[in-house]
Copies of this chain bind each other. A is one copy, B any other.
């Protein structure tokens, strides 16, 4: 949603003669962007453009200035877009602003009774925050470069401007180092990016107005480093990428030996050359310190240097690290834990803890980014992410009130796609389309908060993203086919449509032991969307029906249609479920859905008769629904709760 929109009646038809003309500042990346824009508009509309020679261009583009060779934080992204019945004009101070405006134009075009068209509109737009990113973890599951590239296309479509590349963690080191080849040689299972691929990837990102910020997470989350270089660690090893096992503790780098810093000096110098962005992320999160506790040499170092605890030791490490990063002309970024008064104010803190932590940092003079509330792997609905505002704590909590200058230190935020439970096959559906809601939170004015209109926009861009090459919808189709082994998956899709994965970290059941990062992720939970559109739509119908005093017949008819579909679904689906080892665990889930359908239909029958349902029936149905709401095969049936409302309503006005 742009910062300012003025609409008028009328529309600009998109026809085969659609054409683009560029004046003002030009560069290769703008020319390529215009080409991509036309390709994407052609895909979205299905129209092969054949501009008429000599005719005035449909869309005129003008930028006053070019872009920075290396995209800067805060570089001007503003633009103005005017659409009239006869043409459109896009102007911007920089070619970077043109990139943003072209995405807006793509979003304006929709199908109408008379053809594809963009509405008549005047837009003046610029982002609320200068840092709007997505973190993608490529360590827990390696994500190939082509999959990342299509996600860059997605980020550009929603005007995000940072890919935070979480390149190393316990489970894998993913960047070729020519100085320390054993980092990937021993620590990557052969799955890593070459420096050539990385340079190409950074150019690809830059062409789309996206900065690439590398993260090498140290001193914790660094087991993969120690397979090739065990001497860096605070323990004795030997280490494996799998980890786990009895008595196993998470390895940490040893900050007490000078050789660690010599290694990091060389390593960071190499990586600082490879990654042109001004920022360099060193992680710094979740250092559990057990290896430090267990190592007498390290404890002796702590005492000898007058440190109080492991936190002080990490602060010492970070100070040393900051000097190395700074020497390489980079600004250090790290997670909450790096915050320490001894570090210079130039560093940036990324908060997984929340707005309060961010506000406190800002008060102390540190700039920060919000990620708490934007963890895509927690399987929240888009609306919940959308409600998280980087400034929210500041406006609601007087104690945290910040000055204007302090506020300006809140640079924006980043969604996070941690990769414990994703593969190249399903990562798109974990990121999209929900990431579009977070992108809007970070771009659009703070007062743009209406949830239904957010969902309307999110659904629209979700379709565009598939035309862009993302597979967030189509992958589910493939995965359901694999599970079923059959061409007809309609009954399976009916079930998949109304379930969601369990939320937060509930899938991560410690009782099952450590995660096997090499196991197939091919279960129903891996295929279904994190948020069920059907369940949300059904819930809306039920709320409409209830608010009407059970009188809205159109709503009731639709509710009945869904309930009947679900009631009858298990009979169709059950034989399929038992034939496939991947679907056997879903037998109860399918039975529950049918029970929910039957229960809801009975409740509507009672409501239609305007006679309270018998207590015994109600008790029985609530038991059915309670069972239906319990987790099955790590999934939740999202339509049980609204049906429960119907059952409760049918039993009288309590």
Contacts and interface: CB of A to CB of B under 8 A. Distances in A.
A96 to B, nearest CB: 30
Contacts of A626: none
A604 to B, nearest CB: 17
A581 B114 CA distance: 5
A582 B50 contact: no
Contacts of A561: 568
Contacts of A481: 463, 466
A487 B474 contact: no
Given A113-B579, A488-B533, A467 B478 contact: yes
Contact of A459 (B486, B522, B582): B486
Contacts of A44: 482
A50 B518 contact: yes
A46 B479 contact: yes
Contacts of A519: 16
A139 to B, nearest CB: 15
A467 B115 CA distance: 34
Nearest to A463: B481
Interface string A47-71: 1101000000000000000000000
A521 interface: yes
A572 to B, nearest CB: 8
Nearest to A44: B482
Nearest to A50: B518
A485 interface: yes
B522 A46 contact: yes
A84 interface: no
Of A473, A483, A521, most buried by chain B (CB within 10 Å of CB) is: A473
A648 interface: no
Contacts of A488: 533, 537
Given A473-B477, A487-B533, A568-B561, A112 B46 contact: no
Contact of A581 (B112, B483, B581): B112
A107 to B, nearest CB: 12
A484 B116 CA distance: 11
Nearest to A425: B46
B46 A482 contact: yes
A482 B578 CA distance: 36
Interface residues on A, range: 35 or more
Contacts of A238: none
Contacts of A460: 485, 487
A549 interface: no
A285 interface: no
Contact of A580 (B16, B111, B485): B111
Of A462, A481, A533, A561, most buried by chain B (CB within 10 Å of CB) is: A481
B113 A578 contact: yes
A520 interface: yes
Interface string A275-293: 0000000000000000000
Contacts of A473: 477
Given A110-B485, A474-B474, A483-B111, A46 B521 contact: yes
Contact of A487 (B43, B459, B467): B459
A203 interface: no
A45 B482 contact: yes
Of A46, A483, A568, most buried by chain B (CB within 10 Å of CB) is: A46
Nearest to A489: B463
A299 interface: no
B462 A487 contact: yes
A425 B48 CA distance: 12
Contacts of A423: 48
A30 B463 CA distance: 40
A584 interface: yes
A493 B487 CA distance: 15
Interface string A495-510: 0000000000000000
Nearest to A116: B581
A5 to B, nearest CB: 20
B46 A581 contact: no
A488 B423 CA distance: 26
A527 to B, nearest CB: 10
Contacts of A48: 423, 518, 520
A488 B462 CA distance: 11
Nearest to A487: B459
Contacts of A580: 111-113
A484 B112 CA distance: 10
Interface in A398-455: 423, 425
A467 B424 CA distance: 13
Contacts of A487: 459-460, 462-463, 533
Interface string A507-539: 000000000001111100000000001000100
22 contacts: A16-B518, A44-B482, A46-B522, A47-B522, A111-B482, A111-B485, A111-B581, A112-B579, A113-B580, A113-B581, A113-B584, A115-B581, A460-B485, A462-B487, A463-B486, A466-B478, A466-B481, A467-B478, A473-B477, A474-B477, A488-B533, A561-B568
Interface of A: 16, 43-48, 50, 110-115, 423, 425, 459-460, 462-463, 466-467, 473-474, 477-479, 481-488, 518-522, 533, 537, 561, 568, 578-582, 584
Shortest Cβ-Cβ A-B pairs, 10 listed: A46-B522, A111-B485, A459-B487, A474-B474, A111-B580, A463-B481, A47-B520, A46-B520, A115-B581, A113-B581
Given A113-B584, A463-B481, 11 more contacts: A43-B425, A45-B520, A48-B518, A113-B581, A114-B581, A460-B487, A463-B487, A466-B478, A467-B478, A488-B533, A561-B568
